Amino acid sequence: MQILEFVLQVILGITSLLLTLLILLHKGRGGGLSDMFGGGMTSALGSSGLAERNLNRFTVVLALVWFVAIVSLGLITKFQGL
């Protein structure tokens, strides 16, 4: 059980970092924090529609993996004392 917990913690750490990077790669929609960092100036030079859709899909899949790792770690922690 300790090996599974360790593997889930590693997966959680890696997916957390990747999710942060992927979210920062998304094109800004304007009027928010992305404009403060220059997102408003480069919005016309953003990625193509296909690249943005693939980035969205990869982000959603990675978020689901992150969520499953969180729930699994919580269940392992809860039932470890039993």
Q: What are φ and ψ of residue 27, in 5° steps? A: -70, 135
Tens-digit pLDDT profile for residues 13-67: 999 999 999 999 887 766 555 556 665 555 555 556 888 899 999 999 999 999 9
Instruction: Please tell me the pTM assigned to this model.
Output: 0.74
Cβ-Cβ contacts under 8 Å for 19 (sequence gap 6 or more): 59, 62, 63, 66
Distance CA 62, CA 15 (A): 7
Domain boundaries, the chain: 1-25+49-80
